[in-house]
Chain A
């Protein structure tokens, strides 16, 4: 276990393409549902406890060595929006390239040849964490943090929100992230023994609907 590797993987500058995605924030801003720091916080909290917790559990399970194919199918079933499935696989493919170059590993090579068009990003993240010598808790934290820091950064650009306010939102989500990361590890351990059906399936209706609306726009700042 190396703490420095966790910083490398969690760094927003890690070249995995995440900066091009707003995590649904662009659609929510356009719909007038995110207008300030308070509504951004509510958006991020909702995301954290729905698609965020699902992704963190998948990442933790992958870091524990659960079969990536099964995890990928479980992620598909928990992602009804095709636009979000496409985004998750695109992000998975980009993370795969960065991770293989950074922490070469036979497991990442095998995953890349099994999913040439990309596996769901949390599956790749879990295996990248393994390759970096990190554990399931690290994978869960990376997944959760990325799931809220992406929208927060995007809203700074979309609304001209004060970056100090956006960072304050992330700090106020810390307790929730700590709790959910622990839950994700416990769930990941249950997946090892009981299979992928024990993964949570919490969903956020407006993230799904907004993602499809966003995918149909002719001009947009972010890919998703």
Chain B
């Protein structure tokens, strides 16, 4: 608990995961640690894969909190990270916004599936998320992000989420979504979300995309498969709610195989 500091602003907490291939076709976790509201647990994986669950994310982040999660799949590791529940951004007593930073790395010959549950932006909250992924050439990545604007029937809080993906040091995706009260004008208009309350992204990096990228297409009107300028594809989707968003993303992902 020594890295938890409750400065006047809020809680600072971090979690770290490092996965390595064990040389015998399995994956070990030499680093698996979290503090305060960020706990990490190894759960049963299948085959060569190690599966990790982020637990307890329901308790925040509140205004003023700063969470950092770092995960790296190295040396042929197969790592899959999920979360036990949705993350709920809530207003804090502190007027300052909250931050949630995710730093991911995937080495050559390794694979990372980053599949947390939704991020829900509750009324009055103010959260800035940054997700930055460094992928080596030859590595595989599946990353899912889902943002839900407000709990049922509730106005959303302020949410800014930036997603950056580098392959072999070269940036292939840099995009930021800003929504909620105080976001730049037009965020909920015909160019932005047009009243949709769930928005999500999948990033898929596969070495095979270098020679055979998936075709760009629209998937059931609310989603599009977008081959990026590199061996990667983005699926971007909007939906009225979290359930329909997940269905769209799952369907679009299945269509890549």
Contact = CB atoms under 8 A, between A and B. Distances in A.
Interface of A: 24, 28, 31, 33-34, 39, 42-50, 53, 73-74, 76-78, 80-83, 85, 176, 197, 199-209, 212-213, 215-216
Contacts of B175: 78, 80, 201-203
Nearest to B193: A205
Given A42-B186, A81-B224, A206 B194 contact: yes
Given A205-B238, A212-B224, A46 B199 contact: no
B224 A39 contact: no
B171 A73 contact: yes
Interface of B: 162, 164, 170-178, 184-187, 189-194, 196, 199, 216-218, 221-224, 226-229, 234, 236-238
A81 B216 contact: yes
B103 to A, nearest CB: 15
Nearest to B179: A205
Contacts, number: 129
Given A49-B187, A78-B175, A212 B217 contact: yes
Contact of B226 (A46, A73, A197, A208): A208
A80 B228 contact: yes
User: Interface centre among B191, B199, B216, by most A CB within 10 Å?
Assistant: B191
Contacts of A53: 184
A33 B190 contact: yes
B191 A80 contact: no
B234 A34 contact: no
A176 B229 CA distance: 31
Contact of A216 (B184, B217, B236): B217
Given A80-B226, A209-B236, A213-B218, A197 B185 contact: no
A171 B223 CA distance: 33
